[in-house]
Amino acid sequence: MSQLYTSVQYVKGVGPHIAALLEKRGIRTVSDLILHLPCRYIDRRRIASISDTPVGKERTIIAEVVTSGVAFLGRKRKRIFEVIAKDESGCLEAKWFHFNQSYMPKLFRKGTRVLFAGELTEYNGMKQFVHPEIEILGEDDDSFELGGCLLPIYPLTEGLSQRLLRKIVKNAWEKYEKCLLNPYPNNFLKRHNLMDFKKAVSELHLPPKDADFDLLNTYRTEQHHTVIFTEFFFLELALAIRKASIDKEKGLSFEFNEGVYKSLLAALPFELTSAQKRVIGEIKQDMSRVHPMNRLLQGDVGSGKTIVALAAAVQAVANGYQAVFMAPTEILAEQHYRTIAAIAEKLQIPCALLTAGVKGKMRDEIYKGIESGAIPILIGTHAVIQQDVKFAKLGLAIIDEQHRFGVIQRQALHKKGVKPDVLVMTATPIPRTLAMTLYGDLEISVIDEMPKGRKSIITRIYKDSEHEKLYGGIRTELERGHQIYVVYPLIEESEKIDLKDATEMSKRLAEIFSPQWRVELLHGRMSSEEKERVMNEFKSGKVHILAATSVVEVGVDVPNATVMAIEHSERFGLAQLHQLRGRVGRGDAQSFCIMIVGGRLSEESRRRLNIMVETTDGFKIAEEDLSIRGPGEFLGTRQSGIPEFKLANLVRDVGILQKARQAAFEIIANDPSLGLLQNRLFAEHIKNSGGVEFGKVA
């Protein structure tokens, strides 16, 4: 591998301490550092005096600190940090409402020259910045800092300063520039409107003097375009290669058994929706081909994915193979088992449930049945099935991911020596753009229609002080014979406290509603027997109010439940809220989702919750979630398997993604092993970077 992938410690100016700070930002190698690109720029080409600078956005002023300190604001005596600074033309004020008390006073000593950048406003006749970008200008400023230039601002981490980062990036660049290769042949550059990659990177660190400032700050320069395209391109290339190799593999070819399909339909208490039928058709085609199926089944909560998966499973069984359903939690596995067993029985197909809770002789028998083939359909949790089970003839694996993303699990299955068809079900309506990058090697089927007769769920935001109103509503619904969920967030870091709060909440509910109504608490620390008992009692209607923490997937199907009340709803992500809401509205009655908020809401939380009120369309919610929180957060960060990009943004840069994807897949379609002369550079690049540079693929 190239020197670019050596540790960042080899860069001049980076010792163990700074290396550790950089690591926090995910910068480990020289390449990471060189490709750590500015997130914005400050225009220092035309810095005017305080009096000559008009109010407005993106202003930059250099001034000298006159005084600074903590001040108290308003009746509540809120603390703020204030700086007064001057130049020859006048004074300005800078304010921080959030600040580090020990750090700020040291920074703004009297006489220090500071560059302020941000939105300039006027307040009481004084020009002012609120939370400006700042740059402390020292005596020893090099020309980089002083010359009229576009000053790059890098994403930082605590303990690193802009100046330090600029310096070490510069050092890295000087020493390792020669190792950075342009990965594209010339005609490719022309065709895709790209510039020389190296030049693009260099000019993003240090933009040319005549660069367009607005384009720079909106990631729209040709330099940005080139780097963003590159990030997407190599990710997509890797996906295309993987897909091509899967397509080449020999797998099972199933013959569609019309008779079995008909008897399945006859066993259902409802008609399939046309979306379900269409998707079954897509799966049928895929299963009949000789290469392994690798399909993602997307469908909103309640859209009826289980039946579709079952339709595929019975086909595998009709062909003499086994099928396995893998669910993320025991409760969900049990739920699938109940649904499936009821229907499979009518078709005389034996099936079994395997979870951690199944023990002793029962467990041994299930193992035996699977190994002999006597059990054609197995349902269980991901963990259990991956670890212990030997199949006689596994033909189809159905992986229910809910909102988790288990690219790895899929691979683990492939490694079991067999090449079963794989159907991954997800209830998170992943926006297409994301599905494309994440699951670029999968075919995608979407159930985009809800079963008939589903009423839309009335969704409201209640303040903490409106609990009485909530309890009134709950009582009305109970009296109508319906059931209630009350969910409490459980955040890992404060799990103990949360659990205590959740327990108290359930006690309070019991005080209010018993003895007429029964309240039970369900949480992740309970044993599986206990969980099952509570779930079963809720399902059978013996328990009326289920108070649950969010670590428990409330992935249950209780059509009689009509209220989903979510405490501290501001602490949940949109996807999770949507999941929770999907637990009600499954029957004929009107259902409600009440999101209770504790305390003041941030702008972002308010926006999020309002989206929930406005729409029940999972795809729309997912798109919004993605744009508010960014892809990493959206998917629950790191473990999600989603690549981390340096500059690219899946929302902003969809257009580029599509082009890069097309380019990559075209190349692989014509040259799957990248053996052709014109594609040598790509192969070289992948080899050199070990496939790690852009878009790490799990």
Which of 305, 568, 646, 661 contacts ligand ADP by CB under 6 A? 305
CA 664 to each of CA 188, 245, 438, 688: distance values in angstroms, whole numbers, following the listed order: 11, 15, 15, 18
- The amino acid at 79: R
Question: Is 545 within 8 Å of 507 (Cβ atoms)?
Answer: no
Q: By CB under 6 A, is residue 329 in contact with ligand ADP?
A: no
Specify the stretch interacting with ligand ADP by CB under 6 A; choose among 162-170, 264-272, 501-509, 512-520. Answer: 264-272
Q: What is the nearest approach in angstroms of ligand ADP to the Cβ of residue 357?
A: 21
Which of 201, 272, 366, 558 contacts ligand ADP by CB under 6 A? 272
Q: Which is nearer to ligand ADP, 301 or 534 (CB)?
A: 301
- The amino acid at 212: D
Q: By CB under 6 A, is residue 451 in contact with ligand ADP?
A: yes
Q: By CB under 6 A, is residue 591 in contact with ligand ADP?
A: no
Question: Is 91 within 8 Å of 102 (Cβ atoms)?
Answer: no
Q: ∠669-673-676 over CA atoms, to 5°?
A: 85
Q: Which is nearer to ligand ADP, 132 or 618 (CB)?
A: 618
x/- track of binding to ligand ADP for residues 599-638 (CB under 6 A): ----------------------------------------
Site for ligand ADP in 531-590 (CB under 6 A): 557, 586
Q: What is the nearest approach in angstroms of ligand ADP to the Cβ of residue 555?
A: 8
Q: By CB under 6 A, is residue 306 in contact with ligand ADP?
A: yes
Q: How many Å apart are CA 576 and CA 640, to the nearest integer?
A: 15
Q: What is the nearest approach in angstroms of ligand ADP to the Cβ of residue 486?
A: 21
Q: By CB under 6 A, is residue 428 in contact with ligand ADP?
A: no
Q: By CB under 6 A, is residue 302 in contact with ligand ADP?
A: yes
Helix (H, G, I), strand (E, B) or coil at 24: helix
Give one DSSP letter per residue of 49-118, joined into a string. PTTTSPSEEEEEEEEEEEEEEEEEETTTTEEEEEEEEEETTEEEEEEESS--TTTHHHHT-TT-EEEEEE
Q: How many Å apart are CA 490 and CA 499, to the nearest integer?
A: 7
Q: What is the nearest approach in angstroms of ligand ADP to the Cβ of residue 698?
A: 25
Q: How many Å apart are CA 196 and CA 183, to the nearest integer?
A: 9
Q: What is the nearest approach in angstroms of ligand ADP to the Cβ of residue 534?
A: 20
Q: By CB under 6 A, is residue 431 in contact with ligand ADP?
A: no
Q: What is the nearest approach in angstroms of ligand ADP to the Cβ of residue 567?
A: 23
Q: What is the nearest approach in angstroms of ligand ADP to the Cβ of residue 301?
A: 4
Nearest to 318 by CA among 268, 259, 251, 375: 259
Specify the stretch interacting with ligand ADP by CB under 6 A; choose among 19-27, 270-278, 341-349, 376-384. Answer: 270-278
Q: Which is nearer to ligand ADP, 224 or 539 (CB)?
A: 539
Q: What is the nearest approach in angstroms of ligand ADP to the Cβ of residue 279?
A: 11
Give one DSSP letter per residue of 321-388, joined into a string. -EEEEEESSHHHHHHHHHHHHHHHHHTT--EEEE-TT--HHHHHHHHHHHHHTS--EEEEEHHHHHHH
The residue sitting closest to ligand ADP, measured at its beta carbon, is: 304
Q: Is 58 left (phi over 0), alpha (psi -120 to 50) or beta?
A: left
Is beta strand 150-153 parallel, antiparallel or unpaired with respect to 377-381? unpaired
Q: By CB under 6 A, is residue 151 in contact with ligand ADP?
A: no
- Chain contacts with ligand ADP (rule: CB under 6 A): 270-273, 276, 299, 301-307, 427, 451, 557, 586
